[in-house]
Amino acid sequence: MNDQDVIAGQDANVIKGNENSITSNSNNTTNNISIYTNPTINKGLSTNDVMSICDFMVNKALAEFNSANEKAITRNEDFAQVFIPRLEKIENYISHISDPKFQFLCRDAMTSAAQTERKEDYQLLSELLACHVEKGITNKKIDSAVSRAIKIVDEVDNAALCGLTLALAIRHVKPVSGNIREGIGVLNAMYEKLLYCELPKDDWLDHLETLGAIRFLNIKMTRTIEWFLSTALNGYVCIGIKKNSEKHEQIQEKLKKVNLSEDLLVDHECLEGYVRLPISDNDAIKDFIITNQQIVVLKEILASYEKDDALMREVKKNMIAIWDSFPTLKAVREWWDDVSGRFSITYIGKVLAHTNAKRCDPTFPDLLTKKENG
């Protein structure tokens, strides 16, 4: 996926994107790694059975900690209090308990949990295990990234993870609303949840590269917030058509002929005296429940938008003014414009950032179901 691509969201009224934008009945121990298979697993398990299995795996994991057992036990108990409720939210979760792969991942998660006391880490580990069940079973790229991410959760700096999560959101999430202020307001609500600590500074990118979450680029590219807005939200960042002009009147006539309201075009919030289609990006015209004739007319309208460098600079200036009217978005922009274009996010980083975003905001759009390449 290119930086300008965006990913589909879960709530069609809030965030969206495009399509271009992821038998044994015994306990066996090998190299101190235990695989447990419950002989009654196929007959169905109760929540108590699940807890018993988890307790078994906890005890196996703790066997390696020796004198650190007491603290490790407490931390794994705390982790279980977070993990079990998350597991129960997964459809048919019980059927996955007997999967050796899941048990290996659980053991690794418990090992990581035993080495941290941050509740945020327990939540992240829970989301990673859920990600394996919900997506990784049928996607090896996701599953290998989940496996690696689980092992480094306790090593990831909290501020660096926050920055990585913001980077993923900036590059891949956009609003659906055709109203500019409303759409930017939706983004602000999301970023307020994702910005849960101070923005990272200094060597946070070096830290993430060491963990394999990012990859530095040899050539720095300009990928500022303004660039992303102009590229991903070209329905907002456009000139449109001069209001009440001859061209405007001609378009109104075309709209009437295909049974669309002549008032479909709305006042441009970023350019006084101009009108535009109420969409966030040009591809959004397909979201209208319309005929082929209507699609043709809407494409003609987009093609008839004025092109003028001076006017476009004014649009971008006003767009940034709307963005900066939200304190959180302004802080994110000033931070991002200083670090953007220096790195790409690896698949491990995508999985870490995505699951962390889900931890912060369960309504965060699903970014792991579309094809990605960068």
Can you tell me the distance from the alpha carbon of 153 to that of 112, in angstroms, rounded to the nearest whole number? Answer: 7
Residue 11 confidence class, pLDDT cut points 50, 70, 90: very low
Comparing CA positions, the residue from 9, 117, 118 lying closest to residue 362 is 9
For 84-144, the DSSP string reads HHHHHTSTTGGGGTT-HHHHHHHHHHHHHHTT---HHHHHHHHHHHHHHHHTGGG-HHHHH
Residue identified by tokens 């698949």 is 347
Residue 26 reports pLDDT greater than 50: no
Domain boundaries, the chain: 23-134, 161-229+314-360, 241-306
Q: What would the two tokens of residue 179 be?
A: 């109203």
Can you tell me the distance from the alpha carbon of 6 to that of 175, in angstroms, rounded to the nearest whole number? Answer: 10
Can you tell me the distance from the alpha carbon of 164 to that of 299, in angstroms, rounded to the nearest whole number? Answer: 37
CB atoms < 10 A from the CB of 249, how many?
Answer: 10
Cβ-contact 23, 373 below 8 angstroms: no
Can you tell me the distance from the alpha carbon of 248 to that of 266, in angstroms, rounded to the nearest whole number? Answer: 11
**The model's pTM:** 0.81
Q: What would the two tokens of residue 369 be?
A: 């179901």
Each residue's pLDDT tens digit, 179-220:
999 999 999 999 999 999 999 988 999 999 999 999 998 877
Residue 301 reports pLDDT greater than 90: yes
Residue 2 reports pLDDT greater than 70: no
CA-angle at 120, arms to 211 and 102, nearest 5°: 70
Max CA distance (Å), the chain? 83
CB atoms < 10 A from the CB of 320, how many?
Answer: 19
Can you tell me the distance from the alpha carbon of 110 to that of 131, in angstroms, rounded to the nearest whole number? Answer: 16
Q: What would the two tokens of residue 208 be?
A: 């993430």
Residue 374 reports pLDDT greater than 50: no
pLDDT at residue 46 in the model = 60
pLDDT at residue 154 in the model = 92
Residue 25 reports pLDDT greater than 70: no
Q: What would the two tokens of residue 220 be?
A: 């720095």
Can you tell me the distance from the alpha carbon of 202 to that of 26, in angstroms, rounded to the nearest whole number? Answer: 51
Instruction: With residue 218 as reference, give the H or E element that holds it.
Output: none
Each residue's pLDDT tens digit, 83-110:
888 888 887 777 777 788 888 898 899 8
- Nearest-Å Rg of the Cα atoms of the chain is 25
